[in-house]
Amino acid sequence: MGELSGDDKESLRLMEIVNDYMSLVPEIRDHCERCLKTERYGGNVVLMLVDASFTSIGLNYFKSVVPKVLEFKKEFGKIKTLSDLSKANVEELRRVWKNLRSWNVAIEVAKYLSKLSKDDRIALRTWAKNSSLENWKGDLIGRIKGVGLITYQYLRMMGGIDTVMPDKIVKRVINEILSSAGMERVEGDLEFIKVVERIAKICNYRPIELCWMTWLVQYSDEERKRYLELLYEL
């Protein structure tokens, strides 16, 4: 993919297409603002981490992950802090979500973050501020077994970093947009993230907004409306 300048025909076409997609999800800006302020789930970082750990195995976000995060919230209300989560009994947790890898990720990340600050929000934001895309494999969270680049990026986003997750849905939608604009598709994860960040700059959106948009435009109008309303609870 060549450099995007914002004044060539391909870039102008790209802007038109992106604007059409974004017009379907005008509410997404407010949600992304809360995400970047670490205010999702009412500021509950435990739920943000559980969300990220469930999302890591690639199931449908709104139909599979979100209901289970809300079930966890109901069943394990006693787990209020990252410190609480780091000491939780895995077998008890598996009553809500069977996947052991997800819980290992959640507990190990909770152990690390809870050492950074007694305030969970400060802990997540401190880590995210000092994290980097290029060194993700060497990062203390990036090195945790089960934490891939997608989970790493998702946690950074909820910690205040304006970036994007290179998951299969985001890649598919963004590559459809690039193809429609007459541009080359991008497959490599790191390159993809950088390309989306450039697209966002050209089109006057934030990378995180493009990311969330891709997860919502795949649904019918009725489903999308329902999920956009649900985001206010998340």
Is residue 219 situated within a structural domain? Answer: yes
Is residue 211 situated within a structural domain? Answer: yes
55-94: per-residue pLDDT in tens?
988 889 999 999 999 999 999 999 999 999 999 999 999 9
**Amino acid 7: pLDDT:** 55
**Amino acid 8: pLDDT:** 80
Q: Which residue has the higher pLDDT, 5 or 67?
A: 67
d(CA 59, CA 99): 12
Q: Write out the two tokens for 97.
A: 């979500």
Is residue 2 situated within a structural domain? Answer: no
Q: How far is CA 95 from CA 56, 60, 68, 101, in A?
A: 18, 20, 10, 14
Is residue 121 situated within a structural domain? Answer: yes
Instruction: Verify that 69 and 28 share a domain, yes or no.
Output: no
Q: Is the pLDDT of residue 3 over 70?
A: no
Decide: 192 and 169 in contact? Cβ < 8 Å: no
Least confident among 1-15, 101-115, 131-145: 1-15
Q: Which of 158, 182, 206 represents a domain boundary (last residue)?
A: 158
Q: How far is CA 204 from CA 142, 196, 201, 207, in A?
A: 30, 12, 5, 10
Instruction: Verify that 85 and 121 share a domain, yes or no.
Output: yes
Instruction: Verify that 154 and 50 share a domain, yes or no.
Output: yes
d(CA 84, CA 46): 9
Q: How many folded domains does the chain comprise?
A: 2
d(CA 174, CA 195): 10
Instruction: Verify that 154 and 172 share a domain, yes or no.
Output: no
Instruction: Verify that 85 and 147 share a domain, yes or no.
Output: yes
pLDDT-derived band at 2 (thresholds 50, 70, 90) equals very low
Q: What is the mean pLDDT of residues 111-119?
A: 98
**Amino acid 27: pLDDT:** 93
From 159, 127, 164, 126, select the one nearest 143 (Cα to Cα): 127
Question: What share of the chain in percent tops pLDDT 90?
Answer: 91
Domain range for 97 is 42-158
pLDDT-derived band at 31 (thresholds 50, 70, 90) equals very high
- Per DSSP, 135 falls in state T
